[in-house]
Amino acid sequence: MRPAALTSPRERGALRQLRPLYPLLWEQRGRLALGVVLLLVITALSVSAPLVVRAMLHEVNQPWSQLITWLFWVASGVLLYAGAMWGAPLVLRQMGDAVVVKLKEQVFAHLLRLSPAFYDQQQSGELLSRLSEDAFTLYRGLSTDVPTSAVGALTMVLGGVLAFWLNPTLTAWLLLGALLTFIFMGWLGRTLRRLTRQQQQMVAEQSAFAQERLATMKTVQAYAQEARVASTYAQLHQKFLAQRWRYNCTFGAMIAAAALLQYGAYVLVLGVGLWQMQQGQLLLPDLIAYFVYVAIIGSSFQQVAHLLPFLQTAAGATERLFEILETPLTITNPTRPRSLPSAKGGRAVGFKGVEFAYPSRPERLVTQGLNLTVPANARVALVGPSGAGKTTVFQLLMRAYDPQRGQITLDGVPVKQLRLDDLRAQFALVSQDPVIFATSVLENIRFGRTNATQAQVETAAKAAFAHDFISKLPKGYQTLVGERGVMLSGGERQRVAIARAILCDPKVLLLDEATSSLDSHAEAMVQKALDRLMVGRTTLVIAHRLSTVQDADLIVVLDGGRVVAQGTHKQLLKSCALYRVLAARQLRD
Phi, psi of 536 (to 5 degrees): 75, 20
Comparison of 163 and 583: residue with beta carbon closer to ligand ADP: 583
- Name residues contacting ligand ADP, limited to 66-105 (CB under 6 A): none
| Residue 50 contacts which entry, Mg ion, ligand ADP, none (Cβ below 5-8 A, type-dependent) | none
Q: State in angstroms the smallest separation of the CB of 404 from ligand ADP.
A: 14
Closest listed residue to residue 440, CA positions, set 481, 410, 468: 481
Comparison of 397 and 503: residue with beta carbon closer to ligand ADP: 397
| Residue 389 contacts which entry, ligand ADP, Mg ion, none (Cβ below 5-8 A, type-dependent) | ligand ADP
Q: State in angstroms the smallest separation of the CB of 367 from ligand ADP.
A: 8
Comparison of 292 and 578: residue with beta carbon closer to Mg ion: 578
Q: What order do you get walking across the sheet with 349-356 strand by strand?
A: 367-374, 349-356, 405-410, 413-414
Give the whole-angstrom CA distance, residue 165 versus residue 173. Answer: 14
Give the whole-angstrom CA distance, residue 31 versus residue 298. Answer: 30
Among 388, 418, 464, 541, binds ligand ADP (CB under 6 A): 388
Comparison of 89 and 560: residue with beta carbon closer to ligand ADP: 560
DSSP strand pairing (538-542 vs 405-410): unpaired
| Using rule CB under 5 A, residue 515 touches Mg ion | no
Closest listed residue to residue 564, CA positions, set 350, 355, 369, 362: 369
- Name residues contacting Mg ion, limited to 409-448 (CB under 5 A): none
Tell me the window of 88-96, 192-200, 386-394, 460-468 that interacts with ligand ADP (CB under 6 A). 386-394
Closest listed residue to residue 354, CA positions, set 284, 294, 414, 303: 414
Number of H helices, E strands in the chain: 21, 10
Residues sharing a CB contact under 8 Å with residue 238, sequence separation 6 or more, in sequence order = none
Comparison of 397 and 460: residue with beta carbon closer to ligand ADP: 397
| Using rule CB under 6 A, residue 404 touches ligand ADP | no
| Using rule CB under 6 A, residue 391 touches ligand ADP | yes
| Residue 328 contacts which entry, ligand ADP, Mg ion, none (Cβ below 5-8 A, type-dependent) | none
DSSP string, 290-311: HHHHHHHHHHHHHHHHHHHHHH
| Residue 548 contacts which entry, Mg ion, ligand ADP, none (Cβ below 5-8 A, type-dependent) | none
Q: How many residues bind Mg ion (CB under 5 A)?
A: 1
Q: State in angstroms the smallest separation of the CB of 12 from ligand ADP.
A: 32
Q: State in angstroms the smallest separation of the CB of 387 from ligand ADP.
A: 4
Comparison of 254 and 510: residue with beta carbon closer to ligand ADP: 510
Contact 397, 346 (CB under 8 A): no
Tell me the window of 12-20, 231-239, 379-387, 530-538 that interacts with ligand ADP (CB under 6 A). 379-387
Q: Which amino acid is at 550?
A: Q
| Residue 250 contacts which entry, Mg ion, ligand ADP, none (Cβ below 5-8 A, type-dependent) | none
Reported as type and span, the H/E element at residue 394 is helix 390-397
| Using rule CB under 6 A, residue 399 touches ligand ADP | no
Give the whole-angstrom CA distance, residue 463 versus residue 155. Answer: 74
| Residue 388 contacts which entry, Mg ion, ligand ADP, none (Cβ below 5-8 A, type-dependent) | ligand ADP
Comparison of 301 and 394: residue with beta carbon closer to Mg ion: 394
| Using rule CB under 6 A, residue 390 touches ligand ADP | yes
Q: State in angstroms the smallest separation of the CB of 104 from Mg ion.
A: 35
| Residue 120 contacts which entry, Mg ion, ligand ADP, none (Cβ below 5-8 A, type-dependent) | ligand ADP
Contact 307, 149 (CB under 8 A): yes
How far is CA 309 from each of CA 92, 99, 200, 201, 206, rounded to the nearest angstrom? Answer: 20, 21, 12, 16, 21
- Name residues contacting ligand ADP, limited to 350-369 (CB under 6 A): 358, 360-361, 366
Tell me which long-range contacts 169-173 makes (C-beta under 8 A, separation of at least 24). 169/272, 170/268, 170/269, 170/272, 170/273, 170/276, 170/290, 173/268, 173/272
- Name residues contacting Mg ion, limited to 342-401 (CB under 5 A): 391
E runs forming strands in 341-412? 349-356, 367-374, 379-383, 405-410
| Residue 360 contacts which entry, ligand ADP, Mg ion, none (Cβ below 5-8 A, type-dependent) | ligand ADP
Comparison of 76 and 360: residue with beta carbon closer to ligand ADP: 360
Q: State in angstroms the smallest separation of the CB of 562 from Mg ion.
A: 16
Comparison of 391 and 538: residue with beta carbon closer to Mg ion: 391
Residue number of the CB atom closest to Mg ion: 391
Give the whole-angstrom CA distance, residue 269 versus residue 385. Answer: 85
| Using rule CB under 6 A, residue 403 touches ligand ADP | no
Determine the 3-state secondary structure of 276 from DSSP: helix
| Using rule CB under 6 A, residue 120 touches ligand ADP | yes
Give the whole-angstrom CA distance, residue 254 versus residue 257. Answer: 5
Give the whole-angstrom CA distance, residue 503 versus residue 428. Answer: 9
Comparison of 151 and 388: residue with beta carbon closer to ligand ADP: 388
Tell me the window of 180-188, 388-396, 467-475, 502-510 that interacts with ligand ADP (CB under 6 A). 388-396
Contact 497, 513 (CB under 8 A): no
Q: State in angstroms the smallest separation of the CB of 449 from ligand ADP.
A: 27
Comparison of 29 and 361: residue with beta carbon closer to ligand ADP: 361
| Residue 409 contacts which entry, Mg ion, ligand ADP, none (Cβ below 5-8 A, type-dependent) | none
User: What's the longest Cα–Cα distance across the chain?
Assistant: 121
Comparison of 50 and 359: residue with beta carbon closer to ligand ADP: 359
Looking at residue 144, the DSSP 8-state letter turns out to be I
Q: Which amino acid is at 560?
A: G
Which residues of the shown chain bind Mg ion in the complex (CB under 5 A)?
Answer: 391
Which residues of the shown chain bind ligand ADP in the complex (CB under 6 A)?
Answer: 120, 358, 360-361, 366, 384, 386-392
